Amino acid sequence: MSSELTHISPKIVDTPTDEKMIEDAYRDLLDGYLASNHRKKVDIINRAFKFAKEAHKGVRRRSGEPYIMHPIAVAKIVSQEIGLGSTSICAALLHDVVEDTDYTVEDIESQFGKKIASLVEGLTKISGGIFGDKASVQAENFRKLLLTMADDIRVILIKMADRLHNMRTLGSMLPSKQIKISGETFYIYAPLAHRLGLFNIKTELEDLSFKYEHPEAYKNIQEKIAATAAQREHIFEKFAAPIKERLTALGLNFDMKARVKSIYSIWNKMETKHIPFEEVYDLYAARIIFDCDNEADEKRWCWNIYSEITNLYKLHPERTRDWVSTPKVNGYRALHLTVMGNDGNWIEVQIRSKRMNELAERGFAAHWKYKIGEGEEESELAVWLKTIQDILSNPEPDAMDFLDTIKLNLFSREIVVFTPKGELITLPSNATVLDFAFNLHTYLGTHCIAGKVNHKLVPLSHKLKSGDQVEVLTSKSQQPQPEWIDFLNTAKGKIQLRAALRKDKRQIILAGKKQFLEFLANHDIPYSNEVLTKICGVKQMKSPDDLYAAIANGEIELTDNLVETAKRSWQKRLLSKVLRNPFSTKKDTSSMADSKIATPHTPINTKEEYVLHTIDGKDNYIVAECCKPIPGDNVIGYIDDDNNVIVHKLNCPEAMKLKSGFGNRIVTTRWENVTAKFMATINIRGIDRMGMLQEIIQVISQALSINIRQLNMGAENGVFDGKLEIIVEDTNEVTQLCKKLLKLDGVKVANRID
């Protein structure tokens, strides 16, 4: 939508060059639509284009191009990359008209009918709105986005196209905005695209997010992929030739090609495995797409192809995935196997029919509802949307908790288990008996005492496996317990448990609050935030609710001492503590009274980078404990409630959550004149020999004069493994140390880990 992603400049006159660019782009959109198998409703698309063009006339995006180019691009993605028809194309062309111009939803309805107007209204609601004081705008936006899905899945698909085009044109935004939008895209939109089966879009969103967050790493991997392309193609051709020969002999019409892993996937593997690019051996997967006129024969042909491949190459016994017999929740169907290639490395082969491939490329969402006749069985996506509705009916009060619990289900792998009557239930991997109980019904979850898995008694925390038959055992006297949260791995289970616990706690809090208010009234003390804050502080309570609960439970007594404390607080009317502005290095006390503490709804000026420095031995930042960045790392700053700048690594999972949930508290940062010392952890591994430990210590403490804080080493079967905690000034020292260690005879791995 327009907001910060599509900055609007004042109206100016479009030039003849602009007009030609607009007409060419629209013709490209229309040609693609006419080549599809949708009914050709060109007239209404033409009218929508002319309406949108006139509404946005003379307006430009931050990139400088006419604004109408954005709706055209979104409509093209909707049509040619997702596969939707004229209604969605019209809604995409009109999606910013209500938000950015004087036209109303009623105007859209009078011109284009209820359905298109409804889609435009849904897209406008996602973009705008007023949110709660404690909620993150992004998280609340996402909640609204999910709520629209059950009404018409096309709203989310058009929104996904809108986000994809904004990511493709993100280069024109300020660096601070690029980081915020990339984080939000990676944390929310990419997993959602994955869940909807939009695999191509999911991959591109991940890659584009990575490109703006780690530009140097992105460019480096991109160049290495290009440099190894010829070698990779040679290996693939040698691998594919005998398979092609066998399948051709079967009379099968097929296409076999190599699919290179995405740049983000390669980087992620390098980071998690602590390996260089050269050691990522599964850079590509082979994909076989075959023709099959009869859907009933698809499964048989998949296994026939599987048989031919395994007759040629050695099969990896633990890496076969049958999503033909049991499709993923998002509708994905394929047969995956992994075999040993000619070069001695494992190669994954994906087998799909053309129909399965269409489903994988464009997603099950594009086929939902509009191609299912009346009375037919619910689609997998419809079932998932019902699950989303259940989650939204009891949302988390905290926006970030809401995002976390939703994300549990967005990016999870699935298992399939059975009820005692043989009904199939799909759950995320690592789901427990308690997850299963909550999935069936809230009552079963809150009153569950144990389970029977394959007729054997198991505890609530027992993790389920595909194929298990599960029975829930309940008791009326059972009550939900806070520690159950550790037994749950589904969003639905966590949200329902928290809702049940909140319901119980709420009654206690209300009783305690009533006692507290009566206590104040009996002593003629007016209720105020100052009084409440002072008593919370004296009793070391984190929040008023904690205070009320403690009063109700008898943990705090309302004594005469509290009367005096409350009276002093009321009379003095304590002034709120105002902290200095973190963007100023001067201690200007005259302006402190006018400063404001940053909140989720206090926009931060992020046009310039925030400089991390040390003055008089003191730092103007706090290093995040979760990722422990050091000078030289790519970092961002997060302004907390006390106006402190907390520094995180760009790829820190906690930072990703903060970027997606509290984007207007994020500041771009750079290190400058930092004199502090930092701790870094080095992973070292290699072939053990006499004197190895002594040489390692000499390199660290003598050759480089680096202080060792802790050293843990162990050896087994001739291989040693160790972790070094060292004190350094920046990443250059770490890099230099790793290079020195790798030169030692026998050392195979030396790298920094979080």
What three-state secondary structure class fits 736?
A: helix
What tokens appear for 98 in the block?
A: 């209500």
Q: Which of 14, 81, 100, 468 is catalytic?
A: 100
Count of other CB atoms within 10 angstroms of residue 750: 24
What DSSP string runs through 426-448?
EEETT-BHHHHHHHH-HHHHHTE
Burial 584-612 (b: 16+ CB within 10 A, else e): eeeeeeeeeeeeeebebeeebebeeebeb
User: d(Cα 560, Cα 741) in Å, to the nearest integer?
Assistant: 67
Tokens 């898995």 belong to: 453
Q: Can you tell me the distance from the alpha carbon of 482 to that of 277, in angstroms, rounded to the nearest whole number? A: 44
100 classed as catalytic: yes
Contact, 289 vs 254, CB < 8 A?
A: yes
- Annotated active-site residue 545? The verdict is no
DSSP 451-478: EEETTEEE-TTPBP-TT-BEEEEE-TT-
Distance CA 337, CA 352 (A): 12
Q: Which residue has the tokens 């507290």?
A: 516
Nearest to 290 by CA among 278, 279, 277, 304: 304
Closest CA to 323 of 409, 415, 233: 415
Catalytic, out of 28, 99, 109, 414? 99
Identify which of 573, 510, 518, 564 has the alpha carbon closest to the alpha carbon of residue 538.
564
Q: Which two tokens stand for residue 453?
A: 């898995």
Asked whether the CA dihedral 628, 630, 635, 638 is positive or negative, the reply is: positive
Give residue 385's identity as a one-letter amino acid code: L
Angstrom distance (rounded) from CA 580 to CA 182: 30
- Give the residue numbers annotated as catalytic, written as ranges: 99-100
